[in-house]
Amino acid sequence: MPNSHMNSTDHYETLKRFLPISEKIQKITLGHIKKNIARILYELGAKRVLDIGCGTGGLGAYLKKYGIEAVGVDRSPTMITRANKQQSYSKLLIGDAQYLSSLLGISTVFDAAILSFSLHEMNVEIQEKAWNEICSYVKHGGIMVVTDISVPKKFTLLARLMKLFIDRDERGIGKVYPLHYKNYLDFIKNGGVSVWIHAYKLKIIRERCYYAENICTIAVQNE
């Protein structure tokens, strides 16, 4: 059941009928990124991970292939219902990343945590609260892998085209969930994921960008 801290509105319920086709598109466009996340965690020795904003569970399938046990968390019951069909997670929980203690208790510890396209949905205050909460469930010296939208250092023609595609998708979601689009715009205005994660001055373990630097995966060491 959703915890008491959650907004009871599931904005993604309206998009439920589009999820099957969305999953197919994401497998083509984001599958290699998700596979790389799983490979990074495997190479760094992570055995048990927390997947924040797991969505429909696409990343879980790659984690399972690498023998990594994953617990998925998402605020949307619609997404969790869909993720259950993947059968890739040891546990799936409906809840808010700001209040993990109400879902996980106080003694649970993970080797790593993943935030995959979750940060840009949050405002700045929630980002900070969620980050601190997530870090508290990852062991000291563990791994935090963040993948999200970034701002290219050089706006080449390819970079501009990729940004147009991303903007179109975010606007589409914004028609159903306006706050999502507002937070996305603020996230980009503030420099995207690269600027966001580097501000914490944590040890960078791995960093790789895709689609002309419009999407980046950054792995840092939890301290």
Taken as a whole, the chain contains a residue count of 223
User: Residue 14's pLDDT is what?
Assistant: 87
Strands 110-116 and 48-52: parallel
Each residue of 40-68: pLDDT tens digit?
999 999 999 999 999 999 999 999 999 99
Each residue of 67-110: pLDDT tens digit?
999 999 999 999 999 999 989 999 999 999 999 999 999 889 99
Region 144-152: mean pLDDT is 99
User: 89 with 59: CB under 8 angstroms?
Assistant: no
- Identify the weakest region by mean pLDDT among 11-15, 33-37, 85-89, 162-166: 11-15
What pLDDT band is residue 5 in, cutting at 50, 70 and 90?
A: very low
Which tokens go with 203?
Answer: 């040890």
Element (H, E) at 179: helix 178-189
Q: Hey, where are the domains in the chain? A: 11-221
Which tokens go with 36?
Answer: 């790389």
Domain 11-221, CATH among 1.20.120.80, 3.30.70.3270, 3.40.50.150, 3.60.15.10: 3.40.50.150
Is residue 11 scored above 90 in pLDDT? no
- The neighbour count for residue 65, using CB atoms within 10 Å, is 13
